[in-house]
Amino acid sequence: MSRRRVGFCLSDKKRRQINLVAFAELCASHSVEVVEVNLSQPLESQGPFAVIVHKLSDVIVKAEYDSQSQQLLDNFQGYVSTHPHTVLLDPLPAMSQLLDRFASYRIMSQLQNSLRDWRISSPPYLEISTSDLSVIQQDVESKGLSFPLICKTRVAHGSCSHDMSLIFSMAGLSEAHPPCVLQSFVNHGAVLHKVFVVGEDHFTVERPSLKNFPPGPYERKTIFFNSHEVSKPESCSHLTALDEEVSRLPPPSGEAMVALVRELRAELGMALFGVDVIVNINTHTLTIIDINIFPGYEGVPQFFSSLLSHIESVLDHQELKVPQATCPSAPSAPQADL
């Protein structure tokens, strides 16, 4: 049984999102044991784990300035490095890079090259590390970024990371506070396509999104907003109500989505991630605007069955690779409360 023990190490928010008790029941019927990992206790006595599914974004971000979080992360990393047969969903370095928009936007723009044939792109953007307005203005000009610009914090995780602004002119750039990214706003008819990936599967759901804006630059006050107000399933904001009647664009082609997910999966080396895609209303180009670590999978009823089948395929693969003799034996530690 211990060879099929899967540890879940989730943030409080994630724990509220996922009904781990229901998932554990489903797993038990497939002889897969699910235990909740307590990060502040030695992992050794909670294991051995064949797989650990985790979302440690809070801990990774906090570890930058908080020694207790750093300690938790060190303990976790220590366990992982001394248990090379434990499969991490997903690898820490791959996840960490997505917490930094400077890094994730570089990945998105590289992706454009490999996906050009599919007419998949990502909007032009700038990394802003200075508060010198004239330098920012020059950079915007020389990079040829078109207004409106959407300004997002460099850190992509935590409540403040969803505070964004729409800037309409060179003068408005005084409200871009570093470190942040400035990205050209793409009119997309207020429809967001959220792509949720689980191993080899992916699922797409539609969400509300920001309305169209006339191409700038022009005099208009910067609009400050929180992305949760605009792109959650329940979002209802004046910013998502289109000002004009527009015919709905056809949804992104399934084949293009398959190509996008295949490429990203290989590039990131991750199994649990999400991609936000919009369709440019003028060119119909699929445009990637965000990549998310272990997203909420809201609106994906197949999430549990898909996650279980991914875990089972990891376990099957592992059983082929790890001979029985070298497998860790069953622990005496009690199972964490679920």
**Which residues are annotated as part of the binding site for Mg(2+)?**
276, 290, 292
> Is residue 156 close enough to count as binding ligand ADP by CB under 6 A?
yes
Binding range to ligand ADP, per CB under 6 A, among 28-36, 178-186, 297-305, 311-319: 178-186
Which of 32/192 has CB closer to ligand ADP? Answer: 192
Backbone angles phi, psi at 292, to 5 degrees: -120, 140
What is the Cα 205 distance to its own chain's centre?
Answer: 15
Selected binder of ligand ADP within 98, 182, 186, 293 (CB under 6 A): 186
Residue list, annotated binding site: 14, 55, 101, 152, 162, 183-194, 209, 276, 290, 292, 296
Question: CB within 8 A of 153, min separation 6: which ones?
Answer: 101, 160, 161, 163, 164, 179, 180
CA pair distance 7, 102, nearest whole angstrom: 31
Rounded CA-CA distance 294/271 in Å is 9
**What does the per-residue mask of binding to ligand ADP show for 213-242, with x meaning CB under 6 A?**
--------------x--xx-----------
Count H helices and E strands in the chain, helices first: 10, 14
Residues in the chain: 338
Distance of CA 256 to the CA centre of its chain: 20
Name the nearest CA neighbour of 52 among 87, 20, 77, 17: 87
Report in angstroms how near the CB of residue 285 gets to ligand ADP at its nearest.
12
| Residue 18 binds ligand ADP, judged by CB under 6 A | no
| Total of chain residues touching ligand ADP, rule CB under 6 A | 19
CB of 125 to ligand ADP, least distance (A): 8
Q: Is there binding between residue 162 and ligand ADP (CB under 6 A)?
A: yes
Binding positions for ligand ADP, 252-311, rule CB under 6 A? 276, 278, 289-290
Distance between CA atoms of 139 and 172, rounded to whole angstroms? 14
Interface positions with Mg ion (CB under 5 A): 276, 290
Between 86 and 122, name the residue whose CB sits nearer to ligand ADP: 122
Beta-carbon contacts of 177 under 8 Å, excluding residues fewer than 6 positions away, are 131
Q: Report what 230 binds from ligand ADP, Mg ion, none; CB cut-off 5-8 Å by kind.
A: ligand ADP
Vertex 211: Cα angle to 220 and 239 (nearest 5): 70
Site residues, ligand ADP (CB under 6 A): 123, 150, 152, 156, 162, 183, 185-186, 188, 192, 209-210, 227, 230-231, 276, 278, 289-290
